[in-house]
Amino acid sequence: MKLHDLHPAPGSTKRRKRVGRGTAGRGGKTAGRGTKGQGARGTLKPGFEGGQLPLTQRVPKLGGFKNPFRVEYTVVNLDALEEFDGDDVNPESLRSKGLVHKHGLVKVLGRGQLTRALRVQAHAFSRSAEAAITAAGGSVEVIPSPPGRPAAKGNALTNR
């Protein structure tokens, strides 16, 4: 096979339609644009919707509201504390075992069962976690948040 033998497969190419070449041609007179009106004349701006507020202006620009006072916690559940080695649980020991992220406030949540007594220190507790820890014979201590951080508002122990 040589270069001059190459050609496209039959039916894969077709000539472009030449519109506006007189009434005898297939695309004559109105040239496929219908009759009258804005679309039959000149060019339209992309996205123009006939005077209706365009989609690009209807869609909101910014993605919602971000509360500057939100208190973010890294959470640990009771099932993770059940497998924890030792009886004293605090944010530093949790970080050293890799159970919580190295920064931020720690909150204990009540998923899982606790069968042994633990002394747990954290920045916040859910009511179910606090009840489960004390029912297992352990103790709960709330650590005040470090300076420069907002106080924990949703703490189960302080909002009573």
- Side by side, the strands of the sheet bearing 73-77 are 73-77, 105-109, 124-125
* Structural domains for the chain: 73-142 (3.100.10.10)
Q: Determine the Cα–Cα distance for residues 112 and 7; give it in Å rounded to an integer.
A: 71
Concatenating the DSSP letter of every residue in 101-158 gives -SSSEEEEE--S---S--EEEESEE-HHHHHHHHHTT-EEEEPPPPTTS---TT-TTT
In which order are the strands placed within the sheet that holds 88-89? 88-89, 119-122, 139-142
pLDDT per position in the chain (160 positions), as tens?
899 999 999 999 998 888 888 888 788 888 888 888 887 888 888 888 888 999 989 988 888 888 988 889 999 999 999 888 888 999 999 999 888 888 889 999 999 998 989 999 999 999 999 999 999 999 999 998 777 665 555 544 544 4
Sign for the CA dihedral angle at 120, 137, 153, 68 comes to: positive
157: tokens are: 């122990």
- pTM of the predicted protein model: 0.55
Length of the chain: 160
